[in-house]
Amino acid sequence: MKSPSDYERRIVAMVDSFTKTVARNFSRNLKRATANEEKHYSDEPIDYFLENLSHEDRYPSDYFVLYADELSCVVHSETLYKALCSLPEKQRNVLLFDFWYAFTDVEIAKRMEVTTRTVYNLRRRAFQAIRTFYEQGSSEP
């Protein structure tokens, strides 16, 4: 067998250097990609997509409607709906006007034809009644 010439040795050295460089770069890119994937990987990617891309369907049977005079107020919690229904009408109206429509005490007083102090007292009694309702409801089995 003939010994390789200088030209052949150079070609072999170039191919050897090229393959080593390709292997080294491939290994570096693989390590980089793995580190990047671990940094951005979520354990629950489906939850992420559902949270960001989905929407919750709402049907009329999913919520409850209360009326304060001619204004409607949608309540999504059944417990809160029952608590509000257990209140006398004036107390319920004060809460609905205050929290659903953001009326001031003066506006509520004019609308209900009472004083602002009466509005304050009705709201306080309503809060106490709802607190009692929730305490009784949470102690039931």
pLDDT, tens only, 89-103: 999 999 999 988 999
Higher pLDDT among residues 115 and 59, named by residue:
115
Q: What is the pLDDT of residues 26-47, one digit of tens each?
A: 999 999 988 887 777 656 667 7
What topology is assigned to 62-139 in CATH? Arc Repressor Mutant, subunit A (1.10.10)
Maximum C-alpha span of the chain: 116
Residue 119 has pLDDT above 90, yes or no: yes
Both structure tokens of 136:
């009784």
Average pLDDT over residues 55-72: 80
Beta carbons within 10 angstroms of residue 83's beta carbon: 21
The model's confidence at residue 110, banded by pLDDT at 50, 70 and 90, is very high
